[in-house]
Amino acid sequence: MIDLRQLRDDPEAVRASQRARGEDEAAVDRVLAADVARRTAIAEFERLRAEQKSRGKAVAAAQGAEKQALLAAVKELSEQVKAAQAESDARGAEFDQELRRIPNVVLDGVPPGGEDDYVVVREVGQAPALPAGLDAWRDHLELGERLGAIDVERGTKVSGSRFYFLTGVGALLELALLNMAVARATAAGFTPMITPTLVKPEVMAGTGFLGAHAAEVYHLAEDDLYLTGTSEVALAGYHADEILDLSAGPKRYAGWSACYRREAGSYGKDTRGIIRVHQFHKVEMFSYCRAEDAAAEHERLLAFEEDMLAAVEVPYRVIDTAAGDLGSSAARKFDCEAWVPSQGRYRELTSTSNCTTFQARRLGIRERVPAADGSAPTSTRPVATLNGTLATTRWLVAVLENHQQADGSVRVPAALRPFLGLDVLTPPA
């Protein structure tokens, strides 16, 4: 959740963030009003409880008729205390509910507007030329079927639309991409993790995925568990309710997991192939760092993503996502979009988000505040959390299409060959 102190001290900054996102500015005033009501109720409860304690002491010292009168008054006061406590709890719950409706405050420089209002930061690489002998680009599904790598028809037969099998070299290619991602992350100091894909409601809510995009999440009602759409969720919950030692720098993890998304509202979009599917694999970077280091850490994660894209030799661009297209937890997000020749446009392959202290406040993740004089810390504060995709199943789309050859084979990027053991993917005889 957002910083309550910031909301109280500078509500206009939060209103400006709401405007940039296209969200309701009045939500800020509702939170402030709920905060006043909560604090008023708490003060009244504490006043009555103090009076109750004081009268309790007087009862012990009184005798006779005076004692009986005091007992009657204390009994009546006890009921008032119970009612005040109930009122305080109710106002507190209302305040918490209103506060949780406010998404993270966007950072300075984030473009305002919606999905189409992004800003292109840079474009890297040149779109490949159509191989001689081809009249048009083959898309990834045609290539995958020729190679015996992708089977959407049987995926649909077994599980329904937006499911698929990766078969033969398709399975090996995905494993090679993910293993290369893990190897690079490990070499850079990330701790590799295989994460749970089912999490408790408080963890899913803590990361911000049960807000406006709750319809995207699979829920197992009988067990009250959620299937994660990214290992970010489990990695964010890994240190919930802990105090971290960040004196040696950020804690960095690279989580490998299956991911599940309902793709609610995407009827008719990207129905061909494996661009928009219900299940996929992903390696996700996740960092815990001090709030003042978050911007630099964000650039670091973006650099790792770009290095990985360069390694698989696909043209790409980096965009600064507009405020209205950010998730509720993100204060800034950069997307890396790869060139997809068959579509003649860029499509998202990775993203990296700076969530500042938003998730950590919800999940109770703190660090000890370094003392200016070098003495032992005496207080704690929320940490910052960041995430970024290093490889995922969708990368097969860009690799297959950008490296296709006229005979239907696909050249394997040099950096990927040690992980795959092949220089070229060729259709079976």
- Which residues participate in catalysis according to the annotation? 261, 276, 348, 351, 394
Rounded Cα distance, 303 and 301, in Å:
5
Element (H, E) at 389: strand 384-392
The CA–CA distances, whole Å, from 170 to 13, 186, 396 equal: 49, 24, 8
- Which H or E element spans position 381? strand 380-382
- β pairing state of 243-244 and 366-368: parallel
| Residue for token pair 């599940």 | 260
Collect all residues with Cβ–Cβ distance below 8 Å to 242 and sequence separation of at least 6. Answer: 364, 365, 366
The gap from C-alpha 314 to its chain's centroid, in whole angstroms, comes to 25
177 in Cβ contact with 416 (< 8 Å): yes
The CA angle 147-152-153, to the nearest 5 degrees, is: 110
Contacts of 74 (CB under 8 A, 6+ apart): 52, 55, 56, 59
Residue whose token pair is 């392959």: 349
Which residues touch 310 (CB under 8 Å, ≥6 apart)? Answer: 124, 125
Residue 308 near residue 98, CB atoms below 8 Å: no
CB atoms near residue 400 (< 10 Å)? 29
8 C-beta neighbours (distance < 10 Å), count = 12
Residue type, 143: L
